[in-house]
Amino acid sequence: MGNDQQSALFPTYARYPITMIKGEGSRLWDDTGKAYIDLMSGIAVTNLGHAPQAVKERLVAQLDELWHVSNLFHIPNQEKLAQLLTEHSCTDAVFFCSTGAEANEAAIKLARRYASKVQGSGRYEIITFEKSFHGRTLATLTATGQDKVKEGFHPLPDGFVYAPYNDFAAVQQLVSDKTCAIMLEMVQGEGGVTPADPAFIQQLAQLCREQDLLLIVDEIQTGVGRTGKLFAYEHYGIEPDIITLAKGLGSGFPIGAMLGKAKLTEAFSAGSHGSTFGGTPIATAAAIATIETILNEGLVKRAEEIGLYAIDTLKQRLADNPIVKEVRGKGLLIGIECTQPAGELISALQEAGVLVIPAGPNVIRLAPSLTIPQADLDAGLDAVCQVLAQKAAAAVQ
């Protein structure tokens, strides 16, 4: 688009001054021919890297057969993908949709409907957490514990209350006769890449059992191998009632999913919920190939191993950097908390040919693909450490 031509897009994104035109593996190229090492994966989406061959082949085969058919008919790919997801999780049933917000919307609706139609309690309130992020629909942005995403959208739906993350006593105080569920991320991605404390999660799970509350785990960003487990809840020795997935599920093809325990199927009866583009033959083909590749090639274990390597490398090399407060994360979801805004640091890394993203105002977030070659990972980590060293040196001058 020429500089004198006004965009026909709504300006909802603060875009970087970069136009990407090609991706392969852990590399991206812009329209000037500049190459970048991708340590963001489209915000934890391209878990197999860009344009993975196994997914491409499955998509091409599906394009020759059937693109779309209404959910009024049986769709074999849905059944196959649902079987894959339930066999490798603690859940029994799956609802397919197109986005993470839609998956969380389904979880919220299911929790309320289960309380109403199955428990007969009429409870509707869901406890979520400060600094959480659950989506951009009216319900999911209300569930999000960040005021900035709610500005200008009032009045917001009733039914959400917020506790400080990792504070069990605060959660206990919020439980009432209106509470039907607790909803959280195992690692708060947008909130600063903050992992949940294991004792906190165990206490939450126990509370949900005692009070007959549903435990909803938002795995939109942490799911599909990113944290070194197929699902992040597995790090904590618990079984959620509901899990939501999207980002890493389809290698960049839009698909979301809500997974739940068998007891919840009674609440989502025919006609109670739906999605026109939920679980199309094309979307499910991409997701099947993605999940099968991750499982067959041992990429969950690889994410655990190279994630530990990346975190240890960053901790060692940044230990004496005065603008770095903490390095934290799980697997290949890593945060570097700094004493200055992340924006300038991210721009400097882009100039150096490395792509990362913010997680809150002062946190640099790394989310490389599970398939990133060791050489690319090392080059990316080296650039991060060099840029932070340069910024630290400039800060004391």
Residue 200 in marked binding region: no
Residue 397 in marked binding region: no
How many C-beta atoms lie closer than 10 Å to residue 235's C-beta? 20
Q: What is the pLDDT along the chain (397 residues), one digit of tens a residue?
A: 445 578 999 999 999 999 999 999 999 999 999 999 999 999 999 999 999 999 999 999 999 999 999 999 999 999 999 999 999 999 999 999 999 999 999 999 999 999 999 999 999 999 999 999 999 999 999 999 999 999 999 999 999 999 999 999 999 999 999 999 999 999 999 999 999 999 999 999 999 999 999 999 999 999 999 999 999 999 999 999 999 999 999 999 999 999 999 999 999 999 999 999 999 999 999 999 999 999 999 999 999 999 999 999 999 999 999 999 999 999 999 999 999 999 999 999 999 999 999 999 999 999 999 999 999 999 999 999 999 999 999 887 6
* Residue closest to 373 by CA, chosen among 50, 58, 33, 53: 50
Write out the residue limits of the CATH 3.40.640.10 domain(s) in the chain.
Answer: 53-297
Residue 218 in marked binding region: yes
Indicate the CATH number for domain 20-51+298-395. Answer: 3.90.1150.10
SS3 content of the chain, % helix, strand, coil (to 5): 40, 20, 40
SS3 state of residue 347: helix
Residue 142 and residue 150 in contact, taking contact as beta carbons nearer than 8 Å: yes
Residue 222 in marked binding region: no
The pTM is what?
Answer: 0.96
Residue 4 in marked binding region: no
Residue 293 in marked binding region: no
DSSP 118: I
Residue 306 in marked binding region: no
Indicate the CATH number for domain 53-297. Answer: 3.40.640.10
SS3 state of residue 302: helix
Write out the residue limits of the CATH 3.90.1150.10 domain(s) in the chain.
Answer: 20-51+298-395
Residue 100 in marked binding region: yes
Residue 221 in marked binding region: yes
Residue 220 in marked binding region: yes
Residue 214 and residue 220 in contact, taking contact as beta carbons nearer than 8 Å: no
What tokens appear for 35 in the block?
């190459």
Residue 320 and residue 330 in contact, taking contact as beta carbons nearer than 8 Å: no
